[in-house]
């Protein structure tokens, strides 16, 4: 459980930054080099590398060196975990609301009598 929490914290905090979300959105369409990622953000290569490192730590992104350039890809592992916790949270509420539907239905029937 402890291991999980640490991973989740890292994932959420990695996803909380708009620049990092822009990077991930770009990678949905395919891999890119660091300079390709830097271009639309107007950021320095050094600044962008820091964001890439945070995403890599959170297992949201993978990098691979090809010759002299570093290519970035999405990594599914990190996404799976963040989504997992949120989905569990959502389901617990969906379950409550299903019971609320039942209460409402009963009250409606009582009102008709």
Partner 1 sequence: MSTQPQNETKVTLPDDRTVVIEREFEAPRELVWECFSDPGLLKEWLGPRYLTMAIEEYDFRPGGKWKYIHSDDSNNYVFFGEFLELNQPEYMKQTFCFVMEPAIPPSIDELELIELKGGRTLLKTTSTFESKDLRDGMIQNGMEIGVREGNERLDELLARRQG
> 20 near 63, Cβ under 8 Å?
no
Cβ 53 to partner 1 shortest distance, Å: 20
Instruction: Choose between 39 and 105: whose C-beta lies nearer to partner 1.
Output: 105
Token pair 């002299």 is found at 68
Residues 4-63 that bind partner 1 (CB under 8 A): 4-5, 8-9, 12-13, 16
What sign has the CA pseudo-torsion 42, 79, 81, 99?
A: positive
d(CA 102, CA 83): 28
Contact letters for partner 1, residues 63-82 (x by CB under 8 A): -----------------xx-
**Which residues on adjacent β-strands are paired with residue 66?**
69
Of these, 36, 39, 64, 101, which contacts partner 1 (CB under 8 A)?
Answer: 101
Instruction: Choose between 30 and 98: whose C-beta lies nearer to partner 1.
Output: 98
Cβ 85 to partner 1 shortest distance, Å: 6
Q: Give the contacts of 72 (CB within 8 A, at least 6 positions apart).
A: 23, 27, 31, 32, 33, 34, 37, 52, 61, 62, 63
Q: What residues line the site for partner 1 (CB under 8 A)? A: 1, 4-5, 8-9, 12-13, 16, 80-81, 84-86, 88-105, 107-108
């Amino acid at each position: 459980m402890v291991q999980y929490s640490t991973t989740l914290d890292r994932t959420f905090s990695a996803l909380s930054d708009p620049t990092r979300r822009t990077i991930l959105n770009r990678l949905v369409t395919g891999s890119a080099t660091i300079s390709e990622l830097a271009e639309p953000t107007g950021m320095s290569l050094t600044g962008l590398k820091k964001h890439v490192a945070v995403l890599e730590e959170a297992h949201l992104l993978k990098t691979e060196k090809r010759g002299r350039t570093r290519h970035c890809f999405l990594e599914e592992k990190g996404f799976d975990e963040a989504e997992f916790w949120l989905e569990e949270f959502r389901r617990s509420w969906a379950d409550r609301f299903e019971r609320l539907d039942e209460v409402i239905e009963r009250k409606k029937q009582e009102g008709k009598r």
